[in-house]
Amino acid sequence: MVRGIGAVLVLLCWTTAVAARNYTLRDEITGRKFLDAFYFWAYNDPTNGTVEYVDELTAVANRLAYVDPNGRFVMRADNTTLIPSGKGRPSVRIHSKRKVADGIIVGKFSHMPQGCATWPAFWTCTTERWPRGGEIDIVEGANDQGPRNLASLHTLYGCHIPGGSRSDQTGFTGQADCSYQPGCSASFNADQSYGPGFNANGGGYFAVRRETRPGDPGIGVYFWPITTATSSLPAAVAAAADGTSAPKYVVTNSNATGNDRTELRKWGTPAAFFANTPNATASQAALATGQGSVCQMENYFDEHEIIINLSLCGDWAGETFGYSGCAARYGNVSCETFVRNNPAAFSDARWEIDFLRIYDNSASSIHLNLVGCILATVLSIALLL
C-alpha cells in the first residue's frame, strides 16, 4: 500500500511536468554558432532540384556560407559559375544537430533567397521515413510567387484541417488534407512575408509554436515584418541577440498571469494555424470524410531537425517555372537550362539570418520531475515511519 502511494505521487508529478506549457530558452544561435549547431547536408536533393548541396568545408571556402560584417549568418547559391549539363548549381542545406519537439522556434531574417527558379525553405522535419513523424514548413515558396508566404504540414493519412478563412488564423487555407503531398497549407495575408517584398521591406520575424501533446492547441506559424514596433512584439521575438536580452522562459497556456499574460496577448492570432483535434472530439463527418478538423497530433509528429535550405527548380520551382512568368522572361528555356547558364541571376539567392531562438520544455520538465520524484520519495519514507 505504501509503495502504491509513492508510485501514485511519482505519476502525478510526471503528469504535472509534461503538461506544463512553460518553455525554457535552450539555444540562441547567431553568426558562427550556426556552424556548431548545424551540419551541412551534402547529398542529392530529395526534391530533385538542379542543385549540388555542398559540405561545410566547400561552403566556407567558396563563401557559400559565411558571417557578414553585421554578424548575420549568410548561406547562398553559387552566382559565378556556368554549370555543365547533368550537374547542379552549388547551394547550401543545413540541418540542426539537436532535435526539437514541442516548443517555440523564433527566427529573425534580414533577407531570403529570391529570383526565378529559387525554392527557399525554413522548416522542421522528422528523421524517420517521411512523412511518418511529420514535417512543418514555416517559410516556403518558389519562383518569387506570392507575394505571401505559405506554411504547410505533411503527415501520414488521417490529419485534416478546415479550409478557407477562419477566425483562428489570419491566413487562408487552400489545402485541407495534410497527408503526403501537397499537404495542408495556409497562405499568409501579409504581402511582405515572402520573397522580393520581404527583402525590400528589410526582412522580418517568423515563429512557430508547436504544441501537439494531448490537450494542447496545435501548431501556429507567426510572422511580423521588421517594421513592427518592438513594444508590440513578444519579448521572445523582439529581444536582441546578445545572449542576455531574451526571456528565459515563455508561458503559452491560458493560465498565464501578470507579465506572462501580457506577453501571451502580444502573440496575437497566428498567420497559419493547424488545430490539434483528437479523434474522440472530431465530428463523425470529419472522421468519415476528412471534411473539417481531425488531427490527433501526437500520432503524427515526433522529434524534428530544423532545416534551412535553398533548392533550385525541382518538384515545385521546376514545375511552376513556366506559368510563373520566369520561362517567358528568359526565352522560354527550361528551368534546368536557366539555372546552369545564368549564374548572375542568383546574386540575390541568399539567406541572411540574424538569429534563431529555440524554446522547449526539456529543462522545466526535468526539473519538475526531479523535484516531484524527491517529494514522492520523502513522503513514502515518512509514511513508512
Residue ranges of the domains in the chain? Answer: 1-20+362-385, 23-360
Query: What is the number of alpha carbons within 13 Å of residue 340 lying toward its C-beta?
Result: 13
Mean pLDDT (the chain, rounded): 89
- Residue from 208, 219, 214, 222 nearest 273 by CA: 219
3-state secondary structure of 28: strand
Question: For 208-228, b where at least 16 C-beta lie within 10 A, e where not — what string?
Answer: bbbbbbeebbbbbbbbbbeee
- 215: alpha, beta or left? (left if phi > 0; alpha if psi -120 to 50): left
Determine the CATH number of domain 23-360: 2.60.120.200
pLDDT at 61: 98
pTM: 0.88
Q: Which residues contact 137 (CB under 8 A, 6 or more apart)?
A: 121, 122, 123, 150, 151, 152, 153, 154, 183, 185
pLDDT tens-place string over residues 201-240: 999 999 999 999 999 999 999 999 999 999 999 999 999 9
Does the structure show a pLDDT above 60 at 369? no
Q: Model confidence at 343, in pLDDT bands (50, 70, 90)?
A: very high
- Residue from 343, 259, 338 nearest 77 by CA: 343
- Who wins on pLDDT, 3 or 91? 91
Beta strands 350-360 and 22-29, pairing class? antiparallel
Which grid coordinates belong to 153?
Answer: 504540414
pLDDT tens-place string over residues 118-132: 999 999 999 999 999
Does the structure show a pLDDT above 50 at 12? no
